[in-house]
Structures are given as C-alpha cells and as structure tokens.
Amino acid sequence: MKHRSKLSSEQQQEHSAEQQTQAQSVREFGTAEELLRYDAAHTPVPPGIAHKLQQSVGGQPRPRAAWWKRLWGGKA
C-alpha cells in the first residue's frame, strides 16, 4: 500500500512536471497564416536540394538571352 502511494506520488510529480513543461511551451496563433509562418520558419530546407541543383545547372547550356535583350543589348 505504502509502495503504491509512493508510486502514486512519483507519478503525480512527473505528471505535474509534464504539465509545467507543456504549459511553458504552449504557443498561441491568431490565424492559420501565423501558424503556417511559424511552421515555415522552423522547417529547414534539405541541403541535398542545393547540391543536386548545382549539378543539374552545371550540366545545362547557358540560357539564351531574351529577344529584347539580344536586340537592345539587355537594356530593356
């Protein structure tokens, strides 16, 4: 019985600590966009994209100038 109450006490403490942690990390967002903005700011871009893109671009012919740039020397 005593053992049970000790366990219960520990569990209560854990639960209380958990609640405290949760209470500290609760965030509030006024709109969906704010939430998405927060999510976007915390979503890293996989570094593999830049590496793959570098390889892909390296194998591409240089883009042709637009017709108006060819005609007017890029001042359009």
Near another protein by CB under 8 A: residue from 7, 17, 35, 71: 35
Residue type, 54: Q
Near another protein by CB under 8 A: residue from 8, 65, 71, 72: 65
User: Exposed e or buried b for every residue in 19-41, given b needs 16+ CB within 10 A?
Assistant: eeeeeeeeeeeeeeeeeeeeeee
Near another protein by CB under 8 A: residue from 7, 17, 50, 71: 50
Q: What is the torsion angle, in degrees rounded to the nearest 10, for the CA atoms of residue 18, residue 33, residue 30 and residue 43? A: 20
Looking at beta carbons only, is 3 or 46 nearer to another protein?
Answer: 46
The site for another protein (CB under 8 A) is made up of: 22, 25-37, 39-40, 43, 45-46, 48-50, 52-53, 56-57, 60, 62-66, 68-69, 74-76
